[in-house]
Structure 1
């Protein structure tokens, strides 16, 4: 059977008595062991690539006929190959009742009928590869209905996008099979034209048709990969036939052919199964029996018509006149309705009541009635009278008796800011009264600054407000000697918004908390993770002689971090080293925690201390710290083995340099993964101010080395420069081997001959100067090359805002001149 399956590519099936079962649950009675015959049968089925057709009816197909030592097993079955699954109709196997034999007969039936209910909406990943997907999705999202309630807004938007994608799939994306047929026809035409006439235009059409065909084939692969629901394949095996067969098998397994009731009976047939579902859910959602009291129904009002509403409104107004003894003056009465009220509603109210429509704010008994935010204009008429009142109305009697000019009013106190009555008014008058008076005073505006005794504004008083006594820790936090990422982390710690498990649970997200820094895991909190865990206890104890800091005295993370940063230091250098080391240790603890969570790496106190000291050593070298104390020198010189070796362990700063004024610089890089065979290239073009002109990313296939990816990335970068009309450009790549090949310092491998020919021609046309740059100074191009696997074709960005999120961070670092550190 194995030989036949290898030689036959047509659909076929085989069935009968195989005299062996496949699994232990297919046998009842006797000894349940995986004998040699069972293992051989399993190996045969796996090697031949055939699949069991399943069954309906009895679980077993053979019985030995003995009453005392009865044995039942399933040794009769039907198999078919993958081609049968794809091209032939579904088959069903039913175990009939045995009569004249110890084997159950197998009834094989096939049906082409496929009853399919309403299909559910599924977002297809292949849509993302379409060039209009992002633009059309953005437009559709903005055109969707909106609501002031966030969750309702999301629900309405998602419903709108579901309907949009269904229409967009039919009208724009199209049927995948039809797209493949059209792409194959276009490719065949372009290929024949190029073979007949070898011109540049025909070659370009041939390449475009080839790329289009590869794109639609990749879309088909994604479609069947998603339908098959295979999670153990990372990027597929480029075999849609495999995915097709797997998806059909999944669909066949998900078909409900029979159901078992609670009494043990079996229900078969689509109509009977549907009736059983209806019966089950009808019973599940049926309300409990209840009794309605007739006397309660009498108190439930019936629905009202518009005439009833009008009658009730007039009845209410008449009742008011009878109760108050006052007649309503319709010429002086008015009504208010919301802005979204319809014109027909307004006219009905006017016709019924005879009132006129008024718009807020309105005055009733000289008091403003308004809707929304409070405004000074609502109370201007009251304040104008209040400010004429004497200060005696607001000031305590004992203070008033000691004052001069007892006839001074609120208005007079603010007319001259230098008067002594001003401070008294600021202290005792209501703040709302003073603010409204300053705004509504009809005379010449006078600025009153309440933070000074004389009311005159000064920048010193502003600084005293904006820079309180606790400003020292903020100066240490945002020091120019520390990287911005360290400062941001401590700033988030001081605000208690670091995303540890305790903080996330406090936001209402249920999760099981487990720290990554203890041998016996505990619930993760910021205090435990940074200061109380087993690993951090070891770190702070080893650095106590440098930092003079004890983690056991901290009860709250914000208070502990604030107190440490506000701690005064005798020497400036010691203060900088202390603050930088404290921040570096917290940063490395956080990085190690994330690595333990995401990559399964174990947290190590020694590794965190070494990484922190490497960063401090780079800061000392960059900013040229002077008069470093001896304990710090010993700590910075000590390497992992305990030997003093400062020269070989000092990290260095590798900045990305902007090109000279009037010049452009192109950085390119390639990426290749040996394990998966993925390859890609990317590059970015900067001007002399560091601004991005454009960037590109492209995936490559069928490569076997990173050098090939580097060469293709350089070729594509130069080609884009030529297509955009650039004449002179500086080119940087971090592959020294590629630079030596391009400059002909070493021999060119034969597989790169065509690529090198293109690079040489483009270099001469552009007058390009190619040079080598360290890998740390080529981070943007490296990120673009690594990101290329997300695309199946060439992608060019003209705006930095459209770049992937992972690329924006190194781009901004290069632009502002923040250099990376090579350790």
Structure 2
């Protein structure tokens, strides 16, 4: 009963607050089974009431550092219980004001509860902004003209280097065009909204045709910038489920910032067993860990062993796998790939390649053909960004992170073409007993056979 009263009090505070606010301390309840170790099972009714209160108040939990649990019952072995009873909750306005905020679970001294140390900062981390192709650019008639003009450059060198230089030229031209045409879209949007208020008043005072036309022109320009704003945040948020509806930039901001906070790494355990917290130390430890993971090991060259492996791929199948691609085949693969997926290191999404095919198609086809003729792909195509996705909420070491590779779209084209060709050969290479990870097969068949 006391907890229900507490939830009601918190909801009352939330209803009366319009400014940033925080509530933290010992709530004496956990949200899920992962926040408890030992003791009786979780009472879902209490957890549900607490979760309902958090949702009603539009609160979110600050990312924590330190021990996963904040309370210990002081006992050992079978009677030992750990729980996360203490936490800090904030509203969205708080996160907007103090984005880089976190809570440290300090060591328990003289109490079963760990003290909570809240760290707040108004300074955003300095991030180098790289070029990123915005998909809504393709909806404007000037787009293809800019790409066509930038693509026509004189270059002496191999076709891979020529393609790279053309892409650089297009990148520069699009960035300049966007800055010149739209400038700071968000500032322009605020200016237009204020301008419409003025013109509405003018039209109310003097409802003439001229005033009506002036208002309509400003409203049309506002709709253009509203569309730009919506498409920008839609792509930045990576929302595949987004549908057209009312404008809600606050929602987009909250979504992006919430995801950024979730992916933020405040501290990490290095390979040497040391916990580091500064960005420079975390960055250095990350590079060291993944360089070790991807370091090439010595390969045992044993021709005698290879001679005992049967040749299952026929000459005809081998020729089909390695044949030179046609222009239509390359175009089909490009159109089948998802153009909205996150771009790679060069910043170009698949939408650019799909929309600009008539201009860049011949050069892409030449590049793909060169690969299937045996030429080595240059670094600008094979280069990938590595994004670390948390496997769980409480990230302590690099093993708690799942690396995701963001490749260039050119690399995706070639990979998809290889995939489509290998799919036709795989049934002759993989035993019928292999049922997992094969399209059209189920591991349950082997389970049923074993039973």
Q: 1:32 to 1:183 in 2, by over 3 A?
A: same
Does residue 36 in structure 1 map to residue 45 in structure 2? yes
Residue among 121, 125, 139 paired with 1:111:
121
- Give the Cα–Cα distance (whole angstroms) in 2 for the partners of residues 505 and 241 of structure 1: 38
2:55 corresponds in structure 1 to 46
1:316 corresponds in structure 2 to none
Q: Check the 8 A contact 1:127/1:173 in 2, yes or no.
A: no
1:395-434 equivalence runs, <5 A: none
Does residue 244 in structure 1 map to residue 259 in structure 2? no
Does residue 8 in structure 1 map to residue 17 in structure 2? yes
How far apart are residue 276 of structure 1 and its match? 2.0
Q: Check the 8 A contact 2:270/2:285 in 1, yes or no.
A: no
1:138 corresponds in structure 2 to 148
SS in structure 1 at match of 2:264: coil
How far apart are residue 153 of structure 1 and its match? 4.3
Q: Check the 8 A contact 1:28/1:73 in 2, yes or no.
A: yes
- Give the Cα–Cα distance (whole angstroms) in 2 for the partners of residues 243 and 158 of structure 1: 30
SS in structure 1 at match of 2:104: strand
Does residue 75 in structure 1 map to residue 77 in structure 2? no
Q: Check the 8 A contact 2:151/2:166 in 1, yes or no.
A: yes
How far apart are residue 85 of structure 1 and its match? 2.0
Does residue 232 in structure 1 map to residue 241 in structure 2? yes
1:177 corresponds in structure 2 to 186
1:256 corresponds in structure 2 to 265
Does residue 204 in structure 1 map to residue 213 in structure 2? yes
- Give the Cα–Cα distance (whole angstroms) in 2 for the partners of residues 146 and 256 of structure 1: 45
1:23 corresponds in structure 2 to 32
Q: 1:274 to 1:24 in 2, by over 3 A?
A: same
Q: 1:142 to 1:187 in 2, by over 3 A?
A: farther
SS in structure 1 at match of 2:420: coil
- Give the Cα–Cα distance (whole angstroms) in 2 for the partners of residues 138 and 205 of structure 1: 35
- Give the Cα–Cα distance (whole angstroms) in 2 for the partners of residues 246 and 49 of structure 1: 13
1:555-704 equivalence runs, <5 A: none
Larger Rg: 1
How far apart are residue 275 of structure 1 and its match? 3.1
Q: Structure 2-normalised TM-score?
A: 0.59
Q: Structure 1-normalised TM-score?
A: 0.34
2:301 corresponds in structure 1 to none
Q: 1:213 to 1:25 in 2, by over 3 A?
A: same
Q: 1:285 to 1:19 in 2, by over 3 A?
A: closer
- Give the Cα–Cα distance (whole angstroms) in 1 for the partners of residues 421 and 43 of structure 2: 42
Does residue 510 in structure 1 map to residue 420 in structure 2? yes
- Give the Cα–Cα distance (whole angstroms) in 2 for the partners of residues 34 and 121 of structure 1: 50
Q: 1:71 to 1:284 in 2, by over 3 A?
A: closer
Query: Structure 1: which 5+ residue stretches go unaligned?
Result: 290-503, 515-521, 524-823
Q: 1:194 to 1:134 in 2, by over 3 A?
A: farther
How far apart are residue 141 of structure 1 and its match? 3.0
**Matched positions, count:** 301
How far apart are residue 243 of structure 1 and its match? 0.5
SS in structure 2 at match of 1:99: coil
SS in structure 2 at match of 1:198: coil
1:60 corresponds in structure 2 to 69
- Give the Cα–Cα distance (whole angstroms) in 1 for the partners of residues 257 and 415 of structure 2: 42
How far apart are residue 263 of structure 1 and its match? 5.4
How far apart are residue 76 of structure 1 and its match? 0.3
Q: 1:146 to 1:226 in 2, by over 3 A?
A: farther
- Give the Cα–Cα distance (whole angstroms) in 2 for the partners of residues 159 and 235 of structure 1: 33
**Which segment is superposed worse, 124-133 or 98-107?**
124-133
SS in structure 1 at match of 2:152: helix
- Give the Cα–Cα distance (whole angstroms) in 1 for the partners of residues 417 and 272 of structure 2: 47
How far apart are residue 132 of structure 1 and its match? 3.5
Q: Check the 8 A contact 2:72/2:112 in 1, yes or no.
A: yes
2:336 corresponds in structure 1 to none
How far apart are residue 258 of structure 1 and its match? 1.3
Residue among 168, 172, 197 paired with 1:159:
168
Q: 1:71 to 1:157 in 2, by over 3 A?
A: same
1:127 corresponds in structure 2 to 137
- Give the Cα–Cα distance (whole angstroms) in 1 for the partners of residues 93 and 154 of structure 2: 45
SS in structure 1 at match of 2:151: helix
How far apart are residue 87 of structure 1 and its match? 3.1
- Give the Cα–Cα distance (whole angstroms) in 1 for the partners of residues 416 and 271 of structure 2: 44
SS in structure 2 at match of 1:108: strand
Does residue 100 in structure 1 map to residue 110 in structure 2? yes
Q: Check the 8 A contact 1:61/1:72 in 2, yes or no.
A: yes
Query: Structure 2: which 5+ residue stretches go unaligned?
Result: 1-9, 299-413, 428-451
How far apart are residue 512 of structure 1 and its match? 8.3
**For each residue in 1:794-821, what CA deviation from the matched residue of structure 2 results, as whole angstroms up to 9, or x when unmatched?**
xxxxxxxxxxxxxxxxxxxxxxxxxxxx
Q: 1:260 to 1:507 in 2, by over 3 A?
A: closer
- Give the Cα–Cα distance (whole angstroms) in 2 for the partners of residues 506 and 218 of structure 1: 33
Q: Check the 8 A contact 1:130/1:173 in 2, yes or no.
A: no
SS in structure 1 at match of 2:204: helix
How far apart are residue 242 of structure 1 and its match? 0.5
1:318 corresponds in structure 2 to none
Q: 1:29 to 1:128 in 2, by over 3 A?
A: same
Q: Check the 8 A contact 2:15/2:57 in 1, yes or no.
A: yes
Q: Check the 8 A contact 2:95/2:101 in 1, yes or no.
A: no
- Give the Cα–Cα distance (whole angstroms) in 2 for the partners of residues 246 and 287 of structure 1: 39
